Amino acid sequence: MSIEFASNQQVELSGTCKVEDMVLHSLSPKYRSLNIIVSSIIGFVIVMIIVFLAIQPLFSMPQKFLDYYYIGVTIIIIFTLWSVLYSYLADPKKKYSVREFDVHFQSGLLFSRIISQPIMRIQHIEIERGPIERSAGLATLQVYSAGGANHAFEIPGLAYEKAIELRQFILNHKDVSQNG
């Protein structure tokens, strides 16, 4: 009885399809606007609550609160401005691509990150829409990998119709790939 070993030949990478060469699609422009608006509103509401607590006539605030009042408002304004600036700069860099055998998502402001998922390894796909996304006509496509409890990655900021189209393409292609 002889033991056969599988060969492990060297692969030349010059002829392979490169991830960097694929066509990436931008997210909906509404996604960036929505993130900026939500960050601004949350920051504004928190600042207004703190200001109201400081000036309201119903009861007196402890002196400790009033001593740190300006510091708290300043910190919240700085975080709000940072969040708005981050959404403004980072959201356009988020892109996706769906190819015949894989799905990709690119993100990152300072450090670019590309997540790739073979369609054959996709367990299931969900479309998630919160109330704010629904009002803007957007959706998030969550891709779950086989063997993982959590989603492998998600593609946010898709137009709802595009999310449905991508989900259906992946499901149809997955069935064709698995069943020959």
Report CA-CA distances (Å) from 133 to 7, 43, 77, 111, 140.
51, 19, 25, 27, 8
C-beta separation of 32 from 87 below 8 A = yes
- Domain around 84: 32-90
Select from 67, 90, 113 the last residue of a domain.
90
CA atoms within 13 A on the CB side of 140: 14
Q: What is the pLDDT of residue 96?
A: 94
In a domain, 56, yes or no: yes
3-state helix, strand, coil in the chain (%, to 5): 50, 25, 25
Number of structural domains the chain divides into: 2
The pLDDT tens digits for 81-104 are 999 999 999 999 999 999 888 899
Residue 18 placed within a domain: no
**pTM for the model:** 0.79
pLDDT score at 45: 96
Residues forming a β-bridge with 155: 141
User: Which pLDDT does position 60 carry in this prediction?
Assistant: 81
The answer to whether residues 107 and 75 belong to one domain is: no
Q: Are residues 104 and 127 in the same domain?
A: yes
User: What is the DSSP pairing of strand 138-145 with strand 122-128?
Assistant: antiparallel
User: Which residue ranges of the chain lie beneath pLDDT 50?
Assistant: 177, 179-180
Instruction: Name the 3-class secondary structure at 61.
Output: coil
